Amino acid sequence: MRDNTRAEVRHIAAATASETVMRYADALARSPYAQQAIEATAHDVATEVARAIADERVAHADDIVRAAESAAGDTATETAQRVAEKTASNLADEAAAKTSEETRRAVDEALTKARAEWEEAREAAAREAGQFARDEAVRVVAATVADSVPPVVEVRVAEADPVRVTGHTHAVLPDVLLALGAGCHVLLVGPAGTGKSMMAQQAAQGFEQEFHALSLGPTTPMSKIFGYYDAHGQYHGTPFRSAFEHGGLMLLDELDSGHPGLLAELNQALSIRSCAFADGMVAAHPEFRLIATANTYGTGGDRQYVGRQALDAATLDRFVVIDVPVDEDLEEHIALAHAPARPAEARQVIEEVRRLRATGVEKRLPVMFSPRASIDAAKLLQAGASVEQALRWRVVRGMSAAHRSALGLGAEPGPEPGEGEA
Protein backbone atom coordinates (compact mmCIF):
# COMPACT_ATOMS: atom_id res chain seq x y z
CA MET A 1 0.00 0.00 0.00
CA ARG A 2 1.19 3.52 -0.70
CA ASP A 3 1.90 6.03 2.02
CA ASN A 4 -1.00 8.21 0.85
CA THR A 5 -3.98 6.80 -1.06
CA ARG A 6 -5.70 10.10 -1.76
CA ALA A 7 -4.45 10.29 -5.35
CA GLU A 8 -5.47 6.68 -5.96
CA VAL A 9 -9.02 7.29 -4.72
CA ARG A 10 -9.32 10.43 -6.84
CA HIS A 11 -8.12 8.57 -9.95
CA ILE A 12 -10.50 5.65 -9.44
CA ALA A 13 -13.52 7.89 -8.76
CA ALA A 14 -12.79 10.03 -11.83
CA ALA A 15 -12.30 7.04 -14.12
CA THR A 16 -15.44 5.29 -12.89
CA ALA A 17 -17.64 8.37 -13.25
CA SER A 18 -16.38 9.16 -16.75
CA GLU A 19 -16.88 5.59 -17.95
CA THR A 20 -20.44 5.52 -16.56
CA VAL A 21 -21.32 8.84 -18.19
CA MET A 22 -19.90 7.48 -21.46
CA ARG A 23 -22.56 4.75 -21.48
CA TYR A 24 -25.21 7.43 -21.70
CA ALA A 25 -23.30 9.74 -24.05
CA ASP A 26 -25.89 9.50 -26.86
CA ALA A 27 -28.80 10.44 -24.62
CA LEU A 28 -26.85 13.18 -22.89
CA ALA A 29 -25.73 14.71 -26.18
CA ARG A 30 -29.38 15.21 -27.21
CA SER A 31 -30.63 16.59 -23.92
CA PRO A 32 -30.51 19.86 -22.01
CA TYR A 33 -29.45 17.88 -18.95
CA ALA A 34 -25.91 17.08 -20.12
CA GLN A 35 -23.94 19.32 -17.78
CA GLN A 36 -26.34 18.70 -14.91
CA ALA A 37 -26.11 14.93 -15.34
CA ILE A 38 -22.33 14.89 -15.48
CA GLU A 39 -21.97 17.03 -12.36
CA ALA A 40 -24.60 15.03 -10.48
CA THR A 41 -22.98 11.74 -11.42
CA ALA A 42 -19.52 12.93 -10.46
CA HIS A 43 -20.73 14.41 -7.17
CA ASP A 44 -22.55 11.23 -6.19
CA VAL A 45 -19.47 9.14 -6.96
CA ALA A 46 -17.25 11.35 -4.83
CA THR A 47 -19.79 11.52 -2.01
CA GLU A 48 -20.29 7.75 -1.90
CA VAL A 49 -16.56 7.07 -1.93
CA ALA A 50 -15.97 9.71 0.75
CA ARG A 51 -18.69 8.21 2.95
CA ALA A 52 -17.33 4.70 2.48
CA ILE A 53 -13.80 5.73 3.40
CA ALA A 54 -14.94 7.81 6.37
CA ASP A 55 -16.88 4.80 7.69
CA GLU A 56 -13.78 2.63 7.05
CA ARG A 57 -15.84 0.32 4.86
CA VAL A 58 -13.39 0.59 1.98
CA ALA A 59 -9.97 -0.99 2.29
CA HIS A 60 -9.09 -2.03 -1.26
CA ALA A 61 -9.21 -0.50 -4.71
CA ASP A 62 -11.84 -2.96 -6.00
CA ASP A 63 -14.18 -1.96 -3.17
CA ILE A 64 -13.74 1.68 -4.16
CA VAL A 65 -14.56 0.86 -7.78
CA ARG A 66 -17.75 -0.97 -6.79
CA ALA A 67 -18.90 1.88 -4.57
CA ALA A 68 -18.20 4.42 -7.30
CA GLU A 69 -19.89 2.36 -10.04
CA SER A 70 -22.99 1.91 -7.93
CA ALA A 71 -23.32 5.63 -7.21
CA ALA A 72 -22.57 6.66 -10.80
CA GLY A 73 -24.88 4.05 -12.34
CA ASP A 74 -27.85 5.05 -10.18
CA THR A 75 -27.46 8.74 -11.00
CA ALA A 76 -26.90 8.29 -14.74
CA THR A 77 -29.83 5.85 -15.07
CA GLU A 78 -32.17 8.28 -13.38
CA THR A 79 -30.99 11.09 -15.68
CA ALA A 80 -31.41 8.98 -18.82
CA GLN A 81 -34.96 8.14 -17.76
CA ARG A 82 -35.74 11.85 -17.31
CA VAL A 83 -34.36 12.54 -20.80
CA ALA A 84 -36.55 9.83 -22.39
CA GLU A 85 -39.68 10.98 -20.57
CA LYS A 86 -39.08 14.61 -21.51
CA THR A 87 -38.51 13.72 -25.19
CA ALA A 88 -41.66 11.58 -25.36
CA SER A 89 -43.70 14.30 -23.68
CA ASN A 90 -42.50 16.94 -26.14
CA LEU A 91 -43.37 14.74 -29.15
CA ALA A 92 -46.82 13.93 -27.73
CA ASP A 93 -47.60 17.59 -27.12
CA GLU A 94 -46.51 18.48 -30.63
CA ALA A 95 -48.60 15.71 -32.22
CA ALA A 96 -51.66 16.60 -30.16
CA ALA A 97 -51.51 20.16 -31.43
CA LYS A 98 -51.84 19.01 -35.07
CA THR A 99 -55.45 18.51 -36.10
CA SER A 100 -55.41 17.76 -39.78
CA GLU A 101 -54.36 14.50 -41.44
CA GLU A 102 -52.16 16.48 -43.80
CA THR A 103 -50.40 18.15 -40.93
CA ARG A 104 -49.88 14.82 -39.18
CA ARG A 105 -48.36 13.39 -42.37
CA ALA A 106 -46.05 16.38 -42.58
CA VAL A 107 -45.02 15.82 -38.98
CA ASP A 108 -44.38 12.12 -39.65
CA GLU A 109 -42.26 12.96 -42.69
CA ALA A 110 -40.31 15.52 -40.73
CA LEU A 111 -39.74 13.04 -37.92
CA THR A 112 -38.64 10.33 -40.38
CA LYS A 113 -36.21 12.70 -42.01
CA ALA A 114 -34.91 13.85 -38.65
CA ARG A 115 -34.37 10.26 -37.54
CA ALA A 116 -32.46 9.48 -40.72
CA GLU A 117 -30.27 12.55 -40.33
CA TRP A 118 -29.66 11.69 -36.71
CA GLU A 119 -28.66 8.11 -37.56
CA GLU A 120 -26.09 9.44 -40.05
CA ALA A 121 -24.56 11.73 -37.42
CA ARG A 122 -24.95 9.31 -34.52
CA GLU A 123 -21.35 8.09 -34.37
CA ALA A 124 -19.85 11.54 -34.66
CA ALA A 125 -22.21 12.89 -32.00
CA ALA A 126 -21.41 10.02 -29.68
CA ARG A 127 -17.69 10.59 -30.07
CA GLU A 128 -18.04 14.30 -29.33
CA ALA A 129 -20.37 13.69 -26.40
CA GLY A 130 -18.11 10.98 -25.09
CA GLN A 131 -15.06 13.19 -25.10
CA PHE A 132 -17.05 16.01 -23.53
CA ALA A 133 -18.41 13.65 -20.87
CA ARG A 134 -14.99 12.22 -20.10
CA ASP A 135 -13.29 15.62 -19.77
CA GLU A 136 -16.07 17.09 -17.65
CA ALA A 137 -16.42 14.03 -15.44
CA VAL A 138 -12.70 13.97 -14.69
CA ARG A 139 -12.71 17.70 -13.91
CA VAL A 140 -15.78 17.64 -11.67
CA VAL A 141 -14.85 14.46 -9.83
CA ALA A 142 -11.31 15.65 -9.18
CA ALA A 143 -12.62 18.90 -7.72
CA THR A 144 -15.35 17.21 -5.69
CA VAL A 145 -13.17 14.42 -4.35
CA ALA A 146 -10.51 16.91 -3.29
CA ASP A 147 -13.11 18.49 -0.98
CA SER A 148 -15.17 15.44 -0.05
CA VAL A 149 -12.78 12.52 0.33
CA PRO A 150 -10.70 12.68 3.48
CA PRO A 151 -7.04 11.96 2.71
CA VAL A 152 -5.62 8.73 4.10
CA VAL A 153 -2.08 8.57 5.51
CA GLU A 154 -0.59 5.08 5.58
CA VAL A 155 2.84 4.20 6.97
CA ARG A 156 4.38 0.74 7.09
CA VAL A 157 7.09 0.06 9.67
CA ALA A 158 9.21 -2.99 8.83
CA GLU A 159 6.94 -6.04 8.50
CA ALA A 160 4.16 -4.78 10.77
CA ASP A 161 0.67 -3.97 9.55
CA PRO A 162 0.41 -0.47 8.08
CA VAL A 163 -0.59 2.39 10.38
CA ARG A 164 -3.54 4.23 8.87
CA VAL A 165 -4.93 7.68 9.76
CA THR A 166 -7.95 9.14 7.98
CA GLY A 167 -8.61 12.87 7.79
CA HIS A 168 -6.69 16.07 7.18
CA THR A 169 -3.30 15.78 8.81
CA HIS A 170 -0.08 17.74 9.21
CA ALA A 171 2.57 17.10 6.56
CA VAL A 172 5.00 15.61 9.11
CA LEU A 173 2.55 13.05 10.55
CA PRO A 174 4.06 10.17 8.49
CA ASP A 175 7.45 10.93 10.06
CA VAL A 176 5.90 10.86 13.54
CA LEU A 177 4.18 7.52 12.87
CA LEU A 178 7.39 6.02 11.54
CA ALA A 179 9.41 7.11 14.60
CA LEU A 180 6.77 5.85 17.03
CA GLY A 181 6.47 2.57 15.13
CA ALA A 182 10.23 2.13 15.46
CA GLY A 183 9.86 2.29 19.25
CA CYS A 184 11.29 5.79 19.72
CA HIS A 185 9.95 8.56 21.93
CA VAL A 186 9.19 11.68 19.89
CA LEU A 187 9.65 15.37 20.71
CA LEU A 188 7.66 17.68 18.43
CA VAL A 189 9.13 21.18 18.28
CA GLY A 190 7.35 24.06 16.61
CA PRO A 191 5.45 27.32 17.07
CA ALA A 192 2.20 27.46 19.01
CA GLY A 193 -0.91 26.35 17.18
CA THR A 194 0.77 24.18 14.55
CA GLY A 195 -1.18 21.05 15.48
CA LYS A 196 1.35 19.18 17.64
CA SER A 197 -1.23 17.98 20.18
CA MET A 198 -3.67 17.07 17.42
CA MET A 199 -0.94 14.99 15.79
CA ALA A 200 -0.51 13.03 19.01
CA GLN A 201 -4.23 12.25 19.05
CA GLN A 202 -4.11 11.14 15.41
CA ALA A 203 -1.09 8.94 16.15
CA ALA A 204 -3.07 7.24 18.92
CA GLN A 205 -5.88 6.70 16.41
CA GLY A 206 -3.44 5.22 13.90
CA PHE A 207 -1.99 2.76 16.42
CA GLU A 208 -5.47 2.06 17.83
CA GLN A 209 -4.32 3.01 21.31
CA GLU A 210 -5.88 4.81 24.24
CA PHE A 211 -4.79 8.46 24.32
CA HIS A 212 -3.53 10.09 27.54
CA ALA A 213 -2.39 13.70 27.94
CA LEU A 214 -0.80 15.94 30.57
CA SER A 215 0.35 19.53 30.22
CA LEU A 216 3.53 20.36 32.14
CA GLY A 217 4.40 23.57 33.91
CA PRO A 218 7.00 24.90 36.37
CA THR A 219 4.83 23.86 39.33
CA THR A 220 3.59 20.48 38.06
CA PRO A 221 4.17 18.11 41.04
CA MET A 222 5.75 14.67 40.88
CA SER A 223 2.41 13.15 41.92
CA LYS A 224 0.88 14.18 38.58
CA ILE A 225 3.25 11.72 36.89
CA PHE A 226 4.04 9.04 39.45
CA GLY A 227 0.87 8.99 41.55
CA TYR A 228 0.52 9.26 45.33
CA TYR A 229 -0.92 7.70 48.49
CA ASP A 230 -3.74 9.57 50.23
CA ALA A 231 -4.24 9.83 54.00
CA HIS A 232 -6.08 6.50 54.00
CA GLY A 233 -3.19 4.65 52.40
CA GLN A 234 -4.89 4.33 49.01
CA TYR A 235 -2.73 4.70 45.91
CA HIS A 236 -3.95 7.09 43.19
CA GLY A 237 -2.68 6.47 39.70
CA THR A 238 -2.12 8.87 36.81
CA PRO A 239 -2.64 8.93 33.03
CA PHE A 240 1.11 8.37 32.63
CA ARG A 241 0.96 5.29 34.85
CA SER A 242 -1.95 3.86 32.85
CA ALA A 243 -0.21 4.35 29.50
CA PHE A 244 3.14 3.09 30.82
CA GLU A 245 1.80 -0.06 32.47
CA HIS A 246 -1.04 -1.10 30.15
CA GLY A 247 0.06 0.30 26.80
CA GLY A 248 -1.15 3.57 25.37
CA LEU A 249 0.03 6.78 23.80
CA MET A 250 1.05 9.46 26.29
CA LEU A 251 1.28 13.14 25.38
CA LEU A 252 3.46 15.35 27.59
CA ASP A 253 2.52 18.81 26.40
CA GLU A 254 4.81 21.83 26.87
CA LEU A 255 7.86 19.77 27.86
CA ASP A 256 10.07 22.88 27.83
CA SER A 257 7.81 24.43 30.46
CA GLY A 258 8.21 21.53 32.93
CA HIS A 259 10.32 21.65 36.09
CA PRO A 260 13.85 20.30 35.50
CA GLY A 261 13.60 18.02 38.53
CA LEU A 262 10.43 16.40 37.24
CA LEU A 263 11.94 15.84 33.81
CA ALA A 264 15.04 14.29 35.35
CA GLU A 265 12.84 11.77 37.16
CA LEU A 266 11.27 10.82 33.83
CA ASN A 267 14.63 10.01 32.25
CA GLN A 268 14.79 6.55 33.79
CA ALA A 269 11.34 5.60 32.50
CA LEU A 270 12.21 6.77 28.99
CA SER A 271 15.64 5.14 28.75
CA ILE A 272 15.34 1.73 30.43
CA ARG A 273 11.52 1.42 30.21
CA SER A 274 11.19 0.86 33.94
CA CYS A 275 9.78 3.47 36.29
CA ALA A 276 9.63 4.00 40.06
CA PHE A 277 6.03 4.95 40.82
CA ALA A 278 4.79 5.78 44.30
CA ASP A 279 3.77 2.16 44.89
CA GLY A 280 6.83 0.49 43.39
CA MET A 281 8.72 -0.29 40.20
CA VAL A 282 6.72 -0.94 37.04
CA ALA A 283 8.02 -2.22 33.69
CA ALA A 284 6.82 -0.48 30.55
CA HIS A 285 4.26 -2.21 28.38
CA PRO A 286 5.66 -3.15 24.93
CA GLU A 287 3.10 -0.84 23.30
CA PHE A 288 3.81 2.19 25.49
CA ARG A 289 4.47 5.21 23.28
CA LEU A 290 5.26 8.80 24.23
CA ILE A 291 5.07 12.11 22.41
CA ALA A 292 6.28 15.35 23.98
CA THR A 293 5.77 18.82 22.55
CA ALA A 294 7.79 22.01 22.93
CA ASN A 295 8.00 25.46 21.42
CA THR A 296 11.80 25.60 21.73
CA TYR A 297 14.70 23.17 21.30
CA GLY A 298 15.40 23.13 25.02
CA THR A 299 17.66 26.17 24.96
CA GLY A 300 15.46 28.31 27.22
CA GLY A 301 13.21 31.29 26.59
CA ASP A 302 13.39 33.45 23.48
CA ARG A 303 11.66 36.60 22.21
CA GLN A 304 8.33 34.80 21.77
CA TYR A 305 8.43 32.04 24.39
CA VAL A 306 9.96 33.90 27.31
CA GLY A 307 8.86 31.46 30.03
CA ARG A 308 10.42 28.30 28.63
CA GLN A 309 12.98 26.24 30.59
CA ALA A 310 16.33 25.02 29.31
CA LEU A 311 16.19 21.23 28.91
CA ASP A 312 18.93 18.97 30.21
CA ALA A 313 20.96 17.26 27.49
CA ALA A 314 20.21 13.89 29.10
CA THR A 315 16.48 14.53 28.68
CA LEU A 316 16.81 15.64 25.06
CA ASP A 317 18.89 12.54 24.34
CA ARG A 318 15.85 10.36 25.05
CA PHE A 319 13.90 11.74 22.07
CA VAL A 320 13.76 11.75 18.32
CA VAL A 321 13.20 15.44 17.53
CA ILE A 322 10.83 16.34 14.66
CA ASP A 323 10.25 19.91 13.49
CA VAL A 324 6.61 20.96 13.15
CA PRO A 325 6.34 24.16 11.07
CA VAL A 326 3.05 25.83 10.18
CA ASP A 327 1.22 23.67 7.62
CA GLU A 328 -0.77 26.27 5.69
CA ASP A 329 -2.78 23.67 3.76
CA LEU A 330 -3.97 22.12 7.03
CA GLU A 331 -4.64 25.58 8.46
CA GLU A 332 -6.84 26.42 5.48
CA HIS A 333 -8.77 23.13 5.60
CA ILE A 334 -9.60 23.51 9.29
CA ALA A 335 -10.46 27.21 9.08
CA LEU A 336 -12.77 26.74 6.08
CA ALA A 337 -14.47 23.83 7.83
CA HIS A 338 -15.42 26.23 10.66
CA ALA A 339 -16.95 28.80 8.28
CA PRO A 340 -18.93 26.75 5.72
CA ALA A 341 -21.41 29.58 5.12
CA ARG A 342 -18.73 32.22 4.47
CA PRO A 343 -15.79 30.66 2.61
CA ALA A 344 -14.84 33.82 0.71
CA GLU A 345 -14.52 35.89 3.89
CA ALA A 346 -12.66 33.04 5.61
CA ARG A 347 -10.10 32.95 2.80
CA GLN A 348 -9.71 36.71 3.10
CA VAL A 349 -8.89 36.32 6.79
CA ILE A 350 -6.50 33.43 6.13
CA GLU A 351 -4.58 35.48 3.55
CA GLU A 352 -4.27 38.40 5.97
CA VAL A 353 -3.02 36.13 8.76
CA ARG A 354 -0.43 34.67 6.39
CA ARG A 355 0.69 38.14 5.34
CA LEU A 356 1.08 39.24 8.96
CA ARG A 357 2.91 36.02 9.84
CA ALA A 358 5.42 36.44 7.01
CA THR A 359 5.98 40.11 7.86
CA GLY A 360 6.50 39.32 11.54
CA VAL A 361 9.11 36.68 10.71
CA GLU A 362 10.87 38.92 8.20
CA LYS A 363 11.11 41.81 10.67
CA ARG A 364 11.78 39.54 13.68
CA LEU A 365 8.91 41.01 15.65
CA PRO A 366 7.85 39.43 18.99
CA VAL A 367 4.33 38.80 17.70
CA MET A 368 2.55 35.56 16.88
CA PHE A 369 0.00 34.68 14.21
CA SER A 370 -0.60 30.98 14.66
CA PRO A 371 -3.10 28.85 12.74
CA ARG A 372 -5.35 29.18 15.79
CA ALA A 373 -5.84 32.83 14.82
CA SER A 374 -7.22 31.85 11.40
CA ILE A 375 -9.39 29.09 12.88
CA ASP A 376 -10.88 31.24 15.66
CA ALA A 377 -11.47 34.10 13.22
CA ALA A 378 -13.34 31.67 10.94
CA LYS A 379 -15.54 30.65 13.87
CA LEU A 380 -16.35 34.31 14.49
CA LEU A 381 -17.25 34.79 10.82
CA GLN A 382 -19.59 31.79 10.91
CA ALA A 383 -21.27 33.27 14.01
CA GLY A 384 -21.95 36.53 12.14
CA ALA A 385 -18.93 38.76 12.77
CA SER A 386 -17.54 40.88 9.95
CA VAL A 387 -14.06 40.35 8.54
CA GLU A 388 -12.90 43.52 10.27
CA GLN A 389 -14.30 42.36 13.62
CA ALA A 390 -12.79 38.89 13.31
CA LEU A 391 -9.35 40.33 12.56
CA ARG A 392 -9.56 42.97 15.28
CA TRP A 393 -10.89 40.67 18.01
CA ARG A 394 -8.71 37.63 17.35
CA VAL A 395 -5.74 38.43 15.13
CA VAL A 396 -4.36 41.89 15.96
CA ARG A 397 -5.89 42.49 19.40
CA GLY A 398 -3.75 44.24 22.00
CA MET A 399 -0.96 45.06 19.57
CA SER A 400 1.21 48.12 20.21
CA ALA A 401 1.24 51.07 17.86
CA ALA A 402 4.87 50.33 16.91
CA HIS A 403 4.08 46.74 15.99
CA ARG A 404 0.95 47.76 14.07
CA SER A 405 3.02 50.21 12.08
CA ALA A 406 5.73 47.64 11.37
CA LEU A 407 3.08 45.19 10.13
CA GLY A 408 1.45 47.78 7.89
CA LEU A 409 -1.80 47.92 9.87
CA GLY A 410 -2.04 51.64 10.56
CA ALA A 411 -3.62 53.11 13.68
CA GLU A 412 -5.94 50.99 15.76
CA PRO A 413 -9.60 51.84 14.92
CA GLY A 414 -12.03 52.82 17.63
CA PRO A 415 -14.94 50.59 18.68
CA GLU A 416 -17.78 50.17 16.21
CA PRO A 417 -21.17 51.65 17.08
CA GLY A 418 -22.86 49.54 19.73
CA GLU A 419 -19.68 47.81 20.91
CA GLY A 420 -18.92 48.10 24.59
CA GLU A 421 -22.39 49.32 25.52
CA ALA A 422 -23.94 47.92 28.67
Residue 187: what pLDDT?
95
pTM of the model: 0.65
Contact at 8 Å (CB) between 1 and 154? yes
Per-residue DSSP letters for 181-235? HTT-EEEEE--TTSSHHHHHHHHHHHTT--EEEEE--TT--THHHH-EE-TTS-E
Q: What is the pLDDT of residues 325-375, one digit of tens each?
A: 999 999 999 999 999 999 999 999 999 999 999 999 999 888 889 999 999
Closest-CA residue to 336 (of 351, 355, 350, 353)? 350
Of residues 274 and 149, the one with the higher pLDDT is 274
Q: What is the pLDDT of residues 174-233, one digit of tens each?
A: 999 999 999 999 999 998 889 999 999 999 999 999 999 999 988 999 999 999 999 999
What's the mean per-residue pLDDT of the chain? 76
Closest-CA residue to 135 (of 278, 301, 21)? 21
Of residues 303 and 385, the one with the higher pLDDT is 385
Q: What is the pLDDT of residues 366-378, one digit of tens each?
A: 888 999 999 999 9
Report the distance separating Cα 162 and Cα 150, nearest Å.
18
Q: Which of 106-110, 153-157, 360-364 has the lowest mean pLDDT?
A: 106-110
Residue 322 has pLDDT above 80, yes or no: yes
- Ordered by where they begin, the domains of the chain are 6-148 (no CATH), 165-323 (3.40.50.300), 328-406 (no CATH)
Residue 2 has pLDDT above 50, yes or no: no
What average pLDDT does the segment 382-397 reach? 94
Of residues 265 and 412, the one with the higher pLDDT is 265
Helix/strand/coil for 281:
strand
